[in-house]
Amino acid sequence: MTLIALLTACFKEKKANTAPSIIPIPSEQVITKGVFVLSSATKLTYDDSLKSVANFFKSYVENGSNIQLNTSSKNSIQFKIDASISNNEAYQLKITKDKILISAKSQKGAFYAFQSLRQLLPVDFEKSKAFNETHIAIQCLEIKDAPQFKYRGMHLDVGRHFFSVDFIKKYINLMAMLKMNTFHWHLTEDQGWRIEIKKYPKLQEIAAFRNETLIGHHNNLPHQFDGKKYGGYYTQEEIKDVVKYASERQITIIPEIEMPGHSQAAIAAYSELGCSGKQIEVATKWGVFNEVYCPKESTFKFLEDVIDEVVALFPGKYIHIGGDEAPKTNWKNCDYCQKLIRKEGLKDEHGLQSYFIARMEKYINSKGKQIIGWDEILEGGLAPNATVMSWRGTSGAIQAAKEGHDVILTPGSHCYFDHYQSDNENEPLAIGGFLPLEKVYAFDPIPEELNEQEAIYVLGAQGNVWTEYMQTEKQVEYMAFPRVVALSEVLWSSPENKNYTDFINRLEQYQKRLDQLDVNYANHMYSVKGELKNTEGNLTYQLNATSSTYPIYYSIDDTEPSKLYSNPIAVDSFMNIKAIIRDSDDKNLGSIFEQKINLHKGVGAKITIDKEPHPAYNAGGKTALINGISGNNKRYGDKEWLGFSGEDVEITIEFEAPTNINTITTRFFNANGQWIYPPKEINLQLKLEDGRAISTSKKTENNDSLLVDFSVNISQFYPEDKNLKATELKITIPSYGIIPEGKQGTGNKPWTFIDEITIK
């Protein structure tokens, strides 16, 4: 009997070592009987045009195990071109007992087939020679697969914090495993210029380094700094190496060269690029700065020279030119800019930005490239051939698509991986916001406002990793993973194939692969969540673990969780609930969930608000303001804080019976760097049981604290009425107004974030 026959006999009844749990989930997948035996007796064949992908697979197998693929055997793995497959990125994978057949129209499809096959192999293959057995059983199956969107991207900002070439390659490799095809490399910023431009050496000598870096969050005042010089840049040879590495993994790199804003580092190196001509320094803290490129002929010459060198390094179709957060203050005060506005017949400074972008687009088009810009490039009129990357919600994408422009969705609500991913207060410092894994998975890149014809302009979507608060490579991994895993399925898989519970089961297996690859992912799969329920006046607290089937244990008296949770917990007094998930061996999984519930006279009352909170900050709904639960002390993105964008808000609370009220307290978030301001004053009106209405107003304290407390003692205003009984409380909270000059967001209406309204 031959060796193959012996091996086949040995594995006749044996199951595959790894059950199919592929991410992103394929379009069609049918499990069939039997296994294919991969061993040193396996033959590898390929069509010439797929040689590089076949060798990529061969290297993966042989690096991860002692199996050596050969060229002469009946048991074979075949990489074949199939011109009948219409989609350039589609593939078919057929595994039978004696053959694995990969069919694709191009290298791209064949490479993605390999990534699916990779997930059918033991996770040990991810480490060098870690798989010690001489053969492996692979489940027989048939897959037909193709992506839903043609743009599947991940972004990385290296301007705020700089990362090694080795890490950039690791990041790209992890993207490739998930069938992502575009790496958006954010290379220039106010805080550092990261790409070598040989014609302008000061970009390397000056713009690539800052004198020190902000300590803590930008919202923490007064600002403190570490006093340490920081920076670095990628040489052109390093960039060529990274571009080649990405290309081998079917990933196109889009470089971002910011203009006209986020350019303080470049202006620090060449002061003549700014409007004032004064010497400035590379920015040492985060935010938006007034230093923007002055649209002089010498500035355009500088940028054209930069583009010449950038184009030579990146063979892809696109150059990203930023276009976001460009304050117009310096342009308003610049004689040259004002003369240019009049000369070109422009409406205002927004028109000047449009002129700036259109001129650079024309030059970039002359180099055979197209531009992508953030949705601010819509302001003043969109450049003719521009692609819009919509980050401030979806409105930019909707407008651009209706005008016939290609769009890429990357809204902060679903795609900003610099936001917190858990409401645990022990999470590492982040910029703000709240974007849990399940919300990423629920993202639909096609806005419902677009019809079928307009939707064709949606190329896909992208996850963004801005690194203000990510000093290390491990922190980048923690913030990106596993959210990028969820996004990969959003972009590749058909909506009808998506199921969050099934995804979590597959993710549990995928994270074992990430363990082997030494990826510091955030593991919130075993997090407990809670919700206060009001059923006909009966308050209960419901615990759940949406990502786990293991049991929950809890306590209500600040002790360690010990009771098995089975039914909602009755709430009739102040309590501190703690809960955790435990496995069958009684081992704690994840971290302890803790929630304090402070019953007060507003809990269970009827509440109405005359304005809808912004959809991105309305997770708890209006009852979040009177449910006895306070929001996070460090950030505003959880389900207890409600956010309103530049609006006056009127809140009405109606009591079931006349209620004696002594004090009313609440608090507001105060993060000016993120356009969040507390109101200057609050107006209160009580409707009493005798039909009278009494009112008062009180100013808030103007301070730099992250949280601004507000408290009113009603008896101080109406000492003659010791026992005021109210049937209704109306609270009017005016917006702060307009963000003042010199602050981030100057001239715009700020956000208002409101926490629990406690009535006693």
pLDDT in tens, 611-634: 999 988 998 999 999 999 999 888
Instruction: Please state the rounded mean pLDDT for residues 687-704.
Output: 86
Q: Of 112-116, 487-491, 603-607, which range is least confident?
A: 603-607
pLDDT at 382: 76
Distance between first and last Cα of the chain: 86
Which pLDDT score is estimated for 225? 97
Q: How confident is the model at residue 21 (pLDDT cuts 50, 70, 90)?
A: very high
Does residue 614 contact residue 644 with C-beta atoms inside 8 Å? yes
Q: How high is the mean pLDDT of the chain?
A: 92
Choose the weakest-confidence range: 5-9, 47-51, 468-472, 754-758: 5-9
User: Architecture of 606-759 per CATH?
Assistant: Sandwich (2.60)
Band (2; pLDDT cuts 50, 70, 90)? very low
pLDDT of residue 234: 98
pLDDT band at 3 (very low <50, low <70, confident <90, very high): very low
- What fold does the segment set 3-145 form as a domain? Chitobiase; domain 2 (3.30.379)
Check whether 6 has a pLDDT greater than 50: no
Burial environment of residue 301 by CB neighbours within 10 A (0 to 12, 13 to 18, 19 or more): exposed
Distance, C-alpha 1 to centroid of its chain = 56
Residue 199 has pLDDT above 50, yes or no: yes
Q: Are 258 and 184 in contact (CB under 8 A)?
A: no
User: Above 70 in pLDDT, residue 677?
Assistant: yes
**pLDDT over threshold 80, residue 5:** no
Q: What stretches of 404-538 show up as alpha helix (H) in DSSP?
A: 412-415, 437-441, 452-455, 473-480, 483-492, 500-516
Higher pLDDT, 193 or 714: 193
Fill in the amino acid letter for 60: Y
Name the region of 183 (left: φ>0; alpha: ψ -120 to 50; beta: rest). Answer: beta
* Cα–Cα dist 459/461, whole Å: 7
> Between β-strands 725-733 and 588-597, what pairing exists: parallel, antiparallel or unpaired?
unpaired
Provide the pLDDT for residue 716.
73
Cα within 13 Å of Cα(196), Cβ side: 11
pLDDT of 10 reads 44
Question: For 181-197, what is the mean pLDDT?
Answer: 98
DSSP string, 56-76: HHHHHHHHHBS---BS--SSE
pTM: 0.87
Pairing of strands 135-145, 91-95: antiparallel
Which pLDDT tens digit goes with each residue over 38-81? 999 999 999 999 999 999 999 999 999 999 988 766 789 999 99
Q: What's the whole-number mean pLDDT along residues 424-445?
A: 91
Give the span between the Cα atoms of 541 and 533, in whole angstroms. Answer: 6
What percent of the chain lies above the pLDDT cut of 90?
77
Please work out, in degrees rounded to the nearest 5, the angle formed at the alpha carbon of residue 633 by the alpha carbons of 629 and 638.
Answer: 60
Nearest partner of 262 among 280, 247, 283, judged by Cα: 283
Q: Which of 309, 162, 209, 319 is nearest to 253 (CA)?
A: 319
Q: Which fold has domain 151-516?
A: TIM Barrel (3.20.20)
Q: What confidence tier does 356 reach under pLDDT thresholds 50, 70, 90? A: very high
Q: Does the pLDDT of residue 209 top 50, yes or no?
A: yes
Confidence of residue 183 (pLDDT cuts 50, 70, 90): very high
Can you list the positions of beta strands (E) in 269-329?
Answer: 318-322
373-425 tens-digit pLDDT: 999 888 777 777 889 999 998 999 999 999 999 999 999 999 999 999 988 87
Report cis status (omega within 30 of 0) of the bond before 222. Answer: yes
pLDDT surpassing 50 at residue 8: no
Is a pLDDT exceeding 60 seen at residue 523? yes
Among 542-546, 556-560, 753-757, the range with the most confident prediction by mean pLDDT is 753-757
3-state secondary structure of 510: helix
* Cβ burial, residue 645 (10 Å; 0-12/13-18/19+): middle
Q: Compute CA distances 147 → 95, 152, 407, 738, whole Å.
A: 21, 9, 17, 45
Domain boundary assignment for the chain:
3-145, 151-516, 529-597, 606-759
Least confident segment among 9-18, 48-57, 429-438? 9-18
Q: With 50 as the cut, is the pLDDT of residue 4 above it?
A: no
The reported pLDDT for the residue numbered 153 is: 98
Three-state secondary-structure class, residue 331: helix
